[in-house]
Structure 1
């Protein structure tokens, strides 16, 4: 499956990668190993020893280098072999594992699968509401046996709340809310507004509203390539905008394979709200884990089984107005991937 290569993807949450043991993860159909050197810096290498192709993730970190578990060759943070325990110790010219540019921010480790030179000139997408200096933050991870763009479709059309999450995130008024999708460059925005909703206890408790009272809700979703979303939820007592409460979350989608993906999500609350914000942001992230895990993911995986390895558009999907945002995002990705192909970028991220 073709992917957009010259882009920043989340490879792992910061908490997943420790100094104790390497982490194996398949990213965009490529085996990658993540680990930390002595100073704590995160490193991403191809998880394949260039000697006999053993998985480096089964090895150990020794003096800041990753040791192959098969024959003991060690690879430094740039991917070059720095130690050969055999014979006279000379290092073969081809003893090098691919090194991926890495940055760590917003509670996540980001990697760049394309041209390394372009990575150095491309800033990370901004998710400033997750800056730990100014915000309390909490992150979670879920694995999904479904294509990453099915998850993007899901997040760009939140009308499914009424049917897939009736006891948590949904309401009887959800699907009939006013919806507007817009495109600015490569950014897709979808706004949904509901008036006079009866919200479920999970939401009324999270937003400090009385259960059984009507509320007005706005949902703003912003998508940027390759699958990075921000969702802003605003809820107020019905007809009283001055009582508005707001919650902001990030949703980062990274392909594993054509039929599986990594789903990272995170919440942030300003530290200015007080120390209770740390507990509140953690509780909010944890409360949403259940509907994502128990309702969204089973549906996405059921969709993937129905689609199989066929092209999405070849199935001629029926379209509704609520699909506008998802269609825009898919078309943008198709154009960007096609542009890379025309520029001669290989699946290994190298210019041909």
Structure 2
């Protein structure tokens, strides 16, 4: 499956870009260089000089423009060569590189790899809870050697907590929890509620729950294309209403590096009104989750990718379970949007979403 191009993807966290050093990153199989100009605005260009194709990311930022490390040509944020230090200084007409639309929101730099004229900030879902202007935030990054859709599958089905994370995030009660899923337009949601659960110490401490206390926990996941997820985990005393508990919202942004590798950006946020407690909790969440993410999720995703290899996911004939409904809905939507885009249609046109249902699912279990 190829990539959806007319969409917003996270290219980097905002604090990864400093003033003088450009950042190289492969995004959707293309080398991209990111940097800030003299006004602090972020830019993304193809990481290839128009002259002799040297990687611009090995250069430096001079006066707010990017200087090639090989012969010193300089390019502005629009990809135009604005300085030629050789001869009479005239700039050849072909001395330009591709520039990508960029916006900076929610503590991240987003880029649009498709048609620049279609780049619309209104298509970027809201992640206000990780807006650093209003919230204490903390973030993490992991590179996954697996297709980004496998990572989305993983996040849309948190039943794996019981088996993959038995000592950190899971419990014996998760698999028997109540699970609901559905979709509205391009958005897919999965809601899991677990009742009468004894939390692992890591989770209990994060929610201020005394060890051994019986609680109810809910895990609500929302996915929007191309791989942008919000997860809200809440805990309350057993039998108490949700309003009586505490929630932990997190953002999970999946950007393909290649067909088999993924940039996984994740962030937690809590209102600044919580003061030092909120600042400590978001740091606790990110730093505590790095271990299960890195030592348990990543090896499993990479093992899955190794088993699948370069074969199509459906060609492997997965035996589907009811817990797969959310993940399969997301896959159908993505496949439908990519097919529509390849055909020259607007991938967000609802008339094309039904096309996902025509994609053959070679399995004895059909997820509605």
TM-score band by shorter chain is over 0.9
Work out whether residues 107 and 139 of structure 1, in 8 Å CA contact, stay in contact via their aligned partners in 2: no
CA distance in 1, matches of 2:294, 2:194: 25
Work out whether residues 34 and 44 of structure 2, in 8 Å CA contact, stay in contact via their aligned partners in 1: yes
Aligned to 2:358: none
Aligned to 2:328: 327
Aligned to 2:245: 244
How much does 1:123 deviate? Answer: 4.3
Aligned to 2:304: 303
Which sections of structure 1, spanning at least 5 residues, go unmatched? 346-352
Q: Deviations over 1:273-329 (max 9, x none)?
A: 233211221121111111111110111111111111111111000000000000000
Identify which range, 318-327 or 211-220, moves more after superposition: 211-220
Q: Deviations over 1:145-179 (max 9, x none)?
A: 11100000000000000011000000001111111
Aligned to 1:136: 136
Q: Is residue 204 from structure 1 mapped to residue 175 from structure 2 by the alignment?
A: no
Work out whether residues 251 and 266 of structure 2, in 8 Å CA contact, stay in contact via their aligned partners in 1: yes
Matched position secondary structure for 1:175: helix
Aligned residues: 345
CA distance in 2, matches of 1:132, 1:302: 35
CA distance in 1, matches of 2:87, 2:271: 58
Q: Deviations over 1:30-84 (max 9, x none)?
A: 0000011122111100001111111100011111111111111111111001111
TM-score by length of 1: 0.96
- Cα RMSD between the aligned structures? 1.3
Aligned to 2:292: 291
Q: Is residue 57 from structure 1 mapped to residue 57 from structure 2 by the alignment?
A: yes
Aligned to 2:15: 15
The correspondence of residues 1-352 of structure 1 with structure 2, limited to 5 A, is: 2-120=2-120, 122-241=122-241, 243-343=244-344
How much does 1:121 deviate? Answer: 5.8
CA distance in 2, matches of 1:125, 1:22: 27
Work out whether residues 145 and 262 of structure 2, in 8 Å CA contact, stay in contact via their aligned partners in 1: yes
How much does 1:246 deviate? Answer: 0.6
Aligned to 2:351: none
Work out whether residues 207 and 246 of structure 2, in 8 Å CA contact, stay in contact via their aligned partners in 1: yes
How much does 1:227 deviate? Answer: 0.3
How much does 1:240 deviate? Answer: 2.2
Work out whether residues 12 and 110 of structure 1, in 8 Å CA contact, stay in contact via their aligned partners in 2: yes
Work out whether residues 20 and 62 of structure 2, in 8 Å CA contact, stay in contact via their aligned partners in 1: no
CA distance in 2, matches of 1:92, 1:120: 32
Where do 4+ consecutive residues of structure 1 move more than 3 Å?
Answer: 120-123
Identify which range, 234-243 or 72-81, moves more after superposition: 234-243
How much does 1:265 deviate? Answer: 0.4
CA distance in 1, matches of 2:274, 2:62: 44
TM-score by length of 2: 0.91
Identify which range, 220-229 or 86-95, moves more after superposition: 86-95
CA distance in 2, matches of 1:314, 1:50: 41
How much does 1:133 deviate? Answer: 2.7
CA distance in 1, matches of 2:123, 2:335: 22
How much does 1:120 deviate? Answer: 4.2
Q: Deviations over 1:109-152 (max 9, x none)?
A: 00000111111464421111112232111111111111100000
Matched position secondary structure for 2:119: helix
Which sections of structure 2, spanning at least 5 residues, go unmatched? 347-368
CA distance in 2, matches of 1:223, 1:22: 31
